[in-house]
Structure 1
Amino acid sequence: MKYSKATNYALHTMLLLVAAASDKPVGVQQLAEKQGVSPTYLSKILTKLVKAGLIESASGANGGYLLKRKKEDISFLDIIHAIEGTTSLFDCTLNHTTDCLIQKVMVEAEQKMEQHLKDQKIVDLVGTLTVSL
């Protein structure tokens, strides 16, 4: 199991936005430079985060991105779902007359992992982080 690079950048971007804790929008260029990634690539990730309702975009000369939800409410799982979607990681492809026993084990494991990621808030990482954007 492996998350995409987009999820990696999304988690780091959200951490930067939460750490900035500003009511001023943060530009995509600033966020991209801080992570060493292309602004074009990061823009696609930011669009997904906007669609998920985690952040909002502000247009104009001083435009950029702001948190839309309270920072205390944003979990790792929220961010991962915004990028990866909510489809199950495992899908039993064999045809069975009864429920797939392997599927049951895999779904239970996935539910435990998702609960852990839901309990982990991005704001909890900010305590020792110093960010200048």
Structure 2
Amino acid sequence: MRMGEGVEWGLHCCLTLAWLEDEAPVPTARLAAWFDLPPAYLTKRLQTLVRSGILNSTPGARGGFRLGRRPEQITLMDVVAAIEGPDDIFRCTEIRQRGAGLDTPAQEFQRPCGIATAMRRAELAWRRELVGQTVADLMAAAPATAADRTRRRYARTTG
């Protein structure tokens, strides 16, 4: 399994916006420069987060992005699902019923195979872990100076 880099970008932007919650909306250009990311691609990812209610967008010259919910209300799974989509990671196509399986009695296929069951269990565990962690948890786990450093750096670039 491999997630796109947009998940990392989205999570870092959410974390930064959480630390800058008292500031005006943060423009995409500023976030892109902050992380040395291509602005056009970052804008697409941030708009995806807006459509899912994770961020709010303010148009115009003084516009930008803010969190759409409090940090403790945004789970890592919210961001992953918004950027990557809600579909299951593993998709069983029942290949066991093709080829050599054509001669197998139908009752053997009434229950999901062990592979599909194991993959579903693993995915549910992964999703539970991401649902159980929020942007507020990321804030709490960050180095003690990260929030102040972010605010100071932002203040220097807006002056």
TM-score range, shorter chain: over 0.9
Partner residue in 1 for 2:125:
112
Partner residue in 1 for 2:138:
125
SS at match of 1:56: strand
- Residue of 95, 114, 137 corresponding to 1:101: 114
Q: Provide runs of 4+ in structure 1 moved above 4 Å.
A: none
Partner residue in 1 for 2:39:
39
Partner residue in 1 for 2:80:
80
Task: Give aligned pairs, total.
Answer: 133
Kindly report the root-mean-square deviation, in angstroms, between the aligned alpha carbons of the 2 structures. 1.3
SS at match of 1:112: helix
Give a deviation string over 1:61-81, Cα, whole Å, max 9, x none: 210001111221111100000
Q: Which runs of 5+ in 2 are unaligned?
A: 98-108, 155-159
Work out the CA distance in 1 between the residues paired with 2:65 and 2:38: 16
Q: Which runs of 5+ in 1 are unaligned?
A: none
1:29 maps to a residue whose letter is A
Work out the CA distance in 1 between the residues paired with 2:18 and 2:12: 10
Partner residue in 1 for 2:103:
none
2:58 maps to a residue whose letter is A
Deviation at 1:100, TM superposition (A): 2.2
2:38 maps to a residue whose letter is S
Give a deviation string over 1:58-105, Cα, whole Å, max 9, x none: 012210001111221111100000000111111122154232221111
Work out the CA distance in 2 between the residues paired with 1:48 and 1:95: 37
Asked whether the 8 Å contact 1:13–1:31 carries over to 2, the reply is: yes
Asked whether the 8 Å contact 1:19–1:123 carries over to 2, the reply is: no
2:10 maps to a residue whose letter is A
Partner residue in 1 for 2:62:
62
Asked whether the 8 Å contact 1:27–1:64 carries over to 2, the reply is: yes
More helix by share: 2
Moved more, 16-25 or 39-48: 16-25
Partner residue in 2 for 1:6:
6
Higher RCO structure (Cα 8 Å, ≥6 apart): 1
SS at match of 2:122: helix
What percent of counterpart residues are identical? 32
